[in-house]
Amino acid sequence: MKLANALTYSHTLLSQTVERGNYVIDATVGNGHDTEFLSQLVGPKGHVLGFDVQAAAITATAQRLAEAQLNNTELILAGHENVEQYLPVNQSVGGAIFNLGYLPGADKDVITHGATTLAAINGILPHLKRNGLLVLVVYYGHPGGQDEVNQLLTFAQALPQKEYHVLQYQFINQVNQPPYIIAIQKRV
């Protein structure tokens, strides 16, 4: 068996922790690959809340979901840093994914940033269920990427061990700065 790359492993981790019927979040919808995966994972009784700042991403994803006849998804054209405005106050969250950086094939200047990514993470963590998982797929090869990663690592490494398991999954001998995973699991 070949070791999985970060993208594949992010789905493996979510498959192992999210349950059918859960409420989940795709914080960076893009072309909707993760949104579609989450939609199928939680099934018709589940709910996917998705965010992107680019209208083209929301449109492409809505079309992808319609073609797949998936209708348990709510797509929001806004930054994920506004997550608390859209997440019902007492809503528990089974899982969340952030696929950071820029959307391949689109404007490379539209990237995620440490401050807004952290605001979103801080908005979601209090809602995570016990054993719920927040997965960050981290790209850091583009301008601004390393700065975002540094902020995320500083934050994640300081999370209290009694409350969260924090995992880093990374190939450390590969060229071209392949993406890696930071995954945060709620323990209590």
Ligand X SMILES: C[S@@+](CC[C@H](N)C(=O)[O-])C[C@H]1O[C@@H](n2cnc3c(N)ncnc32)[C@H](O)[C@@H]1O
Residues lying near ligand X in the complex (CB under 6 A) = 27-28, 30-34, 51-54, 57, 79-81, 99, 101, 103, 110, 112, 116
Minimum distance, C-beta of residue 153 to ligand X, in the bound complex (Å)? 18
Q: Which residue is nearest to ligand X (CB)?
A: 30
Minimum distance, C-beta of residue 82 to ligand X, in the bound complex (Å)? 8
Q: Is 25 or 128 the residue whose CB approaches ligand X more closely?
A: 25
Q: Is 51 or 164 the residue whose CB approaches ligand X more closely?
A: 51
Helical packing angle, 6-17 and 33-42, nearest 10°: 20
The sign one gets for the Cα dihedral 164, 169, 172, 177 is negative
State how far Cα 135 lies from the chain centre.
5
Q: Indicate the burial class of 40 (C-beta count within 10 angstroms; 0-12, 13-18, 19 or more).
A: middle
Q: Is 23 or 52 the residue whose CB approaches ligand X more closely?
A: 52
Residue 87: HSE in the Cβ half-sphere, 13 Å Cα cutoff: 29
Minimum distance, C-beta of residue 6 to ligand X, in the bound complex (Å)? 12
User: Rounded distance, CA 5 to CA 15, Å?
Assistant: 15
Q: Is 77 or 131 the residue whose CB approaches ligand X more closely?
A: 77
User: Rounded distance, CA 71 to CA 172, Å?
Assistant: 39
Minimum distance, C-beta of residue 113 to ligand X, in the bound complex (Å)? 7
Minimum distance, C-beta of residue 21 to ligand X, in the bound complex (Å)? 23
Q: Coil, helix or strand for 122?
A: helix
Q: Is 14 or 27 the residue whose CB approaches ligand X more closely?
A: 27
